[in-house]
Structure 1
Amino acid sequence: MTTATLGRLDAIDPAARRAPRYGGFSWTFLSVELKRLFRNSSVVIFTLIFPVAMLIMVGLPNKNVPISDVPVAQGGMSAAVPIMISMAVYGAMVASTMTGVTVAAERTQGWSRQLRLTPLNPVVYILVKVLCGLVLGGIAVLITLILGSALGITAPVGNLVLAGLLAWLSSLMMTSLGLAVGYAFPAQNAMRYLGPILPILSFMGGLFFPLALMPDGVQIAAKFTPVWGIANLSQSAIIGTAPDVWAIPNLVVWFLLFTGFAVLMFRRDTKRV
């Protein structure tokens, strides 16, 4: 390194460096993250195939089973309708959680070390990952609902749109959970821990089995689990009934908890590197 170069470096005043606007967020940064996500073939394939397979295996056999005294042939709603939106929620959950867990591989590749050298705000990085999870979760929801319509599993358009939007919201919370796990555990262990957790949370939240058929104690306990709020909101919307008053607080509280935990794990990880 020449004397002239050293002189230029000495002239740089670190205190005079300006922090980037919006904590480092930019549309370029978001587009780069999305491109990296869609290059991950396992994430994309799982997002496209899993909710479709679940709908065909679980929903289609119940297509002609009514949820009321009115037969499906006479305009009654099919039992496959709430199953369809439940599979859409689960597909969005899995897709967005996998989006978050990709940070475990990024840590292994040294990406956390690079971030440590930048003025990027941890909250901004978490939110960019959440936005990526929303994109992938939205694809999972759309594919599930479009396939359901193609198979003849129908609901009023207004109910379908509202329920689809609510199912999409699950991506917010579950991406944050994936991020927290991705920063807390090594890449080889992250999905190993989340693998059994997601089905258990879905069962407790009423995605895989109607809570009304479970014991009272289980129904009460379910209201304190992360998936219950979004399951109740989306299922109520698609069949046209009012949701439980605690469904929205459940969704908001768990989103804030998972996001806060993800930020905490991010800060801890970058301090280690």
Structure 2
Amino acid sequence: MSVAIDTTTRNAPRWGGFSGRFLGIELKRTFRNSSVIIFTLIFPIVMLFLVALPNKNFSTSSTPVAQGGISAAVPIMISMAVYGAMMASTMTGVSVASERAQGWSRQLRLTPLNPVVYILVKVFCGLVLGAIAVIVTLIIGAAIGIKAPIGNLIGAGLLAWITSISMTSLGLAIGYAFPAQNAMRYLGPILPILSFLGGLFFPLYLLPQAVQDAAKFTPVWGIANLAQSAIVGAAPDVWAVPNLLAWFAIFTGLAILMFRRDTKRV
């Protein structure tokens, strides 16, 4: 004999179903992903030793490093911190692809958890891992003798961390758009290419002017310009913030569109 359930007496959970336990589960899942740890923590550190350290004694200006000039390794250090934070945010977002394949996303849809809360928890996990990537990279950089004014260092580190949130939206869009076996395959070349075009791996001022102008329309350029300017104590390009906000809106819109398309299948 079946018993009817009176749904009028049931109340929706507070905070859209958010709980500290669910957040803890997601954080554990994030830190158990070895590929995420390798690319967000180990890769930037390796690049510090391979690229930044050999340039430690070269100055970015006519003032020698020994006389107070800023080392050429300093912009490289913050660029690696930015890359680590972006990788953390992007890979945290794209992890939804494997969760969809394993049935975890479908299981969550059977709970009172609000989809917006689910996405916000993903963003928070990306920020946590991104903060660790930035802090570890800057600490290792200081340990090997790459020094910058503490105010510049803190400001650039915060910018590297906060601005990387836009890449979580990119990861979510890719994670909801493609199957698990293809999502990482597409992400693999996308982020390095965008980083190169944005000036993280190579100084844009060494490239032709047409390339420098075109770079201002790429997603990573605004993030890189803000952090690199802050670390050397210079004013960022006037188009850096509009670039960041525009691409954040584009990636977020794509993530929402792909999410809605995915939920229609259930």
TM over 0.5: yes
Give the structure 1 partner of residue 231 of structure 2. 238
Matched, 1:84 2:82: no
Cα distance, 1:19 vs structure 2: 2.6
Matched, 1:202 2:195: yes
Quote the Cα distance in structure 1 between the aligned partners of 2:238 and 2:8.
51
Is contact 1:112-1:270 (8 Å) kept?
Answer: no
- Structure with the greater alpha carbon radius of gyration: 1
Give the structure 1 partner of residue 221 of structure 2. 228
Matched, 1:156 2:149: yes
Quote the Cα distance in structure 2 between the aligned partners of 1:207 and 1:15.
55
Matched, 1:261 2:254: yes
Matched, 1:133 2:117: no
Gap runs ≥5 in structure 2 = none
Give the structure 1 partner of residue 179 of structure 2. 186
**How many residue pairs are counted as aligned between the two chains?**
266
CA RMSD of aligned residues (A): 1.5
Cα distance, 1:15 vs structure 2: 4.8
Task: Report the TM-score when normalising by structure 1.
Answer: 0.93
Gap runs ≥5 in structure 1 = none
Quote the Cα distance in structure 2 between the aligned partners of 1:245 and 1:31.
39
2:139 pairs, out of 131, 140, 146, with: 146
Is contact 2:164-2:223 (8 Å) kept?
Answer: no
Q: What amino acid is the match of 2:127?
A: L
Quote the Cα distance in structure 2 between the aligned partners of 1:137 and 1:111.
24
Quote the Cα distance in structure 2 between the aligned partners of 1:224 and 1:49.
29
Give the structure 1 partner of residue 206 of structure 2. 213
Matches within 5 A, 1:23-42: 23-42=16-35
Pair 105,233 (structure 1): closer, same or farther in 2 beyond 3 Å: same
Q: What amino acid is the match of 2:254?
A: F
Is contact 2:92-2:171 (8 Å) kept?
Answer: yes
**Partner SS, residue 272 of structure 1:** coil
Cα distance, 1:80 vs structure 2: 0.3
Query: Matched residues, percent identical?
Result: 77
